[in-house]
Each structure stands twice: as structure tokens, then as C-alpha cells.
Amino acid sequence: MLITPTAINYPQQNDYLVWDGTLTANQEKGVRELLMAFENHRSHLVWAVTGAGKTEMIFPLIEQVLKQGQRIAICSPRVDVCIELFPRIQKVFPNTTVGLFHGKSEEPYQLTQIMLATVHQLIRFEAAFDVLVVDEVDSYPLAGNMMLHRAIKKAKKPTGMIVYLSATPPKELLSQVKQQKISITKLYQRFHGHPLPEPHCHLLLKPITFGKINPRLRLKLQRLIKNNERFMLFFPQIPTMKNFAKQLIKLYPLLTFVDVSSKDEHRLEKVQQFRDQRVQAILTTTILERGVTFKKITVIVLDAQAKEFSKTALIQIAGRAGRGSDSYDDEVHFYYQYYNQQVRLACSEIAYLNQQAKK
């Protein structure tokens, strides 16, 4: 069933946005650029490093949309991102109807003034939204998927705008900026003003499971476990992760951890366990490379040379660390069997972004 615009007068409110946070000078500049694009019905790219506070930057835009009695959809290719965003949007717009829709949601579709949804849900809409915010635009399965990109454009009203949010924007979008088809905001600095954690690189001459767990890697893990520090371990493939989990249980029977992947039906509950600090560690594939925020953690990538870890994926994974103002110096470690182009490019781009932030 195709859902088209519905003539509805949304109720006027005294307070649309209820938020006691403050924006940095960089964020405020970005907000001004966003609101100008909204006034001009022009699509806009927000290119911001991980942890720059992109979500907070769209609050004033949402407020303007609501004040004008219009409708907005906030979408992401990832279910996890939508689920994490939903309570945050509900909290700051408490008097507005907010809906969350994705393939796994139980609730039937209903009309709301703010809709949070996976990009796939937009296939059902035509000319229904005044503003569409697309988070993680470079993420699988949206990246390079023409059907989904067409669905985004189809769901927008002819006079509407699309806001693209990304820490690693795809070349096609940057090319549209160059051709002045869309406008852009750049944020090189995290909201707390501290630089992005730059990865420590470690060459492992033998596989990660050499001697159950590679001795170089074991030293790091022993230190983390002994000091009761929380950590994330990223793996290129599910079987590698599962085998490593077995070795962890044998060597560190007291370590509490969960492992998650795209095929895990209990992924969301397990991620919540880690968020609630009920386990010390989480083992994951690239499924958690973006869209999740944890405080005070060490991020470790194993087999960073694997083809599953693109430059973009490595930058996003490194971006899971140092997100809190009280834990900006979280560590990131890349372990690999040989140094390759994607590891080099990821490290040099993070260093470049930190240089730009100083200017």
C-alpha cells in the first residue's frame, strides 16, 4: 500500500523543543546553514566527524518543521540507529507525535508528525514528507543501492528537502556539492572539543588465534580484564568471532561478554546489556561500526587488514571511542597480519581531520 500526503492540521504547541543542552559555536554555525537550506528548499549535506553531535544539530531544524505545521522523517539504513534515536527524539519533542517503524517493529503504521524509520520503509511513501533526514547515508544497505535512493527522493514532497548526515560521505554526494546541487556543512571537531582518538597499530606476525590467543593480543586483553575496563572487539567475519569467543571462555572464565552479528536475533538485547554495563566486553562484526554510543571503552579491531574492513569501516569503528567528554581519550587499537592500504588511509584520514579541527 502506497502512503501519500494526508491533509492534516497538526496541533499548535507552546513548546515544541524541550532541551536544556547547549550547542558549540561550530554546531551553531551548522544549524544556521541547515535552517538556511530549509528556507530555500535546498537539500543539504552535514559532513561531521563521529561524535560531533549531528543529532543535536537537527533539533532546531525539526523545531522549525513542526512550527510550520509540516512533517519530517528521520531515516537510517540501520535498525539499531533508529532504535537508539527514538527515545532521544521523544524526550526533546514530548508534545509531538513520534513513530518508530522498521521491519522488526510490532506496531502497525500510524500517521505521526515525526517518523523514525529504516530507509526500506520509505518504499511505501510518495510525496509524504516536507523534510527527510537520512543518517549514515554511506552505510550498507543504502550505499550504492539505487532502489533505496529512489525511494528517498519519492517519499519527499516536490517542495521538500533532504538532509544527509555522514562522517564518511560517499563520492556521489561530494560531487553534488561540487556541482552546487546541494549545500554543505563541515564539522571537524567533536562536541567536547577533543580530537578523534588516533589508532595504535600493531603488527601480528601470526594469526589472532595462534596459541589459542596471540600472545601480543593476550597481553592487552589481560590488562583490560584485570583493570575491569570495558572493551569492544571487532571481527571481519562471524566464524572468526565465534572461534575467538570459545578461546576467551577457556582462557578468561571470569570475563563477562556478549557477541553480536547481523544474524543474531537477540542483538538489540545484547547491545543493551553492554550499554547497561552488565557485561565487560562485546564482540561484534561491522554491524556495530556506527550508530551506537558507549562511554569509557577501548576499541580493538582484529584482522584489520581483512577485506571486510574498508577505510570507511575502520574510521567509523575508531569513532566508537572517545565519545564522552569524560572519556575523550579512549584508546583504539588496530591489530593486523600485514599493513595495507585501507589501514594506512583510515589512520591518515583521522590524523587529517584532527589537523583540520585545529585550524
Give 240 or 105, the one with higher predicted confidence.
240
Name residue, grid cell 551548522: 30
The values of phi and psi at residue 91, to 5°, are: -65, -40
Pairing of strands 129-135, 72-76: parallel
36 within 8 A of 185, measured Cβ to Cβ: no
Is 25-187 in CATH node 3.40.50.300?
A: yes
Task: Decide: 136 and 142 in contact? Cβ < 8 Å.
Answer: yes
Cis peptide before 141 (omega within 30 of 0): yes
Q: How would you list the strands of the sheet with 129-135, edge to edge?
A: 98-101, 114-118, 72-76, 129-135, 156-166, 44-48, 183-187
Average of per-residue pLDDT across 157-185: 94
| Rounded mean pLDDT, 37-53 | 94
For the record, the C-alpha cell of 8 comes out as: 492534516
Query: Is pLDDT above 90 for 350?
Result: yes
Mean pLDDT calculated for residue range 153-176: 93
Q: What is the pLDDT of residues 69-126, one digit of tens each?
A: 999 999 999 888 898 899 999 999 999 999 999 987 778 888 999 999 999 999 999 9
- Is the pLDDT score of 5 beyond 70? no
Sign of CA dihedral 53, 78, 129, 180: positive
Mean pLDDT of the chain: 93
Sorting pLDDT into bands at 50, 70 and 90, what band is 268?
confident
Average pLDDT over residues 31-38: 97
All cell numbers assigned to 281: 566486553
| Residue 125 DSSP label | B
Superfamily name and number for 200-358: P-loop containing nucleotide triphosphate hydrolases (3.40.50.300)
Residue spans per domain, the chain: 25-187, 200-358
The string of DSSP letters for 213-246 reads S-HHHHHHHHHHHHTT--EEEE-SSHHHHHHHHH
pTM of the model: 0.88
Of 311, 291, 320, nearest to 76 by C-alpha is 291
Q: What is the mean pLDDT of residues 14-35?
A: 94
Three-state DSSP class for residue 168:
coil
φ, ψ dihedrals at 43, nearest 5°: -70, 155
- 163 - beta bridge partners? 44, 133
Closest CA relative to residue 48, chosen from 190, 252, 222: 190
Instruction: For residue 6, name the pLDDT band (cuts at 50, 70, 90).
Output: low
Q: Is it the case that residue 151 has pLDDT exceeding 80?
A: yes
